[in-house]
Amino acid sequence: MTSPSSVGDPLMGFQRVVTQDRVAAYADASGDHNPIHLDEEFAATTRFERRIAHGMLSLAFVWEMMSANYPDDWHKGGTVKTRFTSPVVPGEEVEVGGSVKRLRNVGGEDFIECDVSVTRPNGEKALTGSATVPLSRMSVRD
């Protein structure tokens, strides 16, 4: 696969169903047992009125997308700047996507900056932001 490298190139995205089981598994794996993700009774008292998925889970989807699109460079160092703009509710299938926003050269280093997003079935963005791939930035310990 050729990595997207021109402004406007779409990133290869994917859809993923966020089940409550996945949220529970993520809570166990990450250690984040915030009741807003797990406790139905507590979640009903919050502004969301139901359990919501971890924002970090949506960010993990973005990380996975960047890893798939830039397999040689993303793991050598990458930056994400994201806002969680709407909660993902368990049961929803989200769409993870993005596109190349611009190419930059800073101090002799090349960067590809991408717009990234996670979109809920109703069209609301659960996550928006940018992901920057620094090409040839750091040494890799293999």
Partner 1 sequence: MNPEERSEAMDAAYKLLETPRAHLRVKFEQTEDSVLLWYRDDVLTGVLLDQSGMNAASAMAVALGVEIPRTGESVEVLASTGLLHRVLALSDLDFRNPSSFELANHLVDEAVDMQRVARRSGESGSPMDLSELESGMEFGPYVIDLTQADTDAYIDATGDSDGAKGFGGRVHPLHLDAFVLSKLIAEIGIVENRIETVHAGQQMTVYKQVWPGDLVVANSTLKSCSNRRGSIWAVFETTFTEETEDRVAVSSSTIIMMP
Task: Return d(Cα 120, Cα 88) in angstroms, integer.
Answer: 7
Paired strand residues for 17:
93
Least distance (Å) between residue 2 CB and partner 1: 17
Smallest gap from Cβ 99 to partner 1, in A, equals: 20
- The residue among 5 and 85 lying less far from partner 1, judged by its C-beta, is 85
Q: 10 or 72: whose CB is closer to partner 1?
A: 72
Pull the structure tokens for residue 8: 């406007």
* Cβ distance to partner 1 smaller for residue 8 or 141: 141
By beta-carbon proximity to partner 1, the closer residue of 6 and 117 is 117
How far is the C-alpha of 114 from the C-alpha of 119, rounded, in Å? 16
Q: What are the structure tokens assigned to 122, written together? A: 């109703």
125, containing H or E segment: strand 125-135
Contacts of 88 (CB under 8 A, 6+ apart): 18, 52, 53, 57, 58, 94, 118, 120, 126
What is the binding site for partner 1 (CB under 8 A)? 16, 22, 25-26, 28-36, 39, 42, 45-47, 54-57, 59-61, 63-64, 67-68, 71, 75-84, 87, 138, 140-141
Report the nearest approach of partner 1 to the CB of residue 101 (Å).
16
| Least gap, CB of 104 to partner 1 (angstroms) | 15
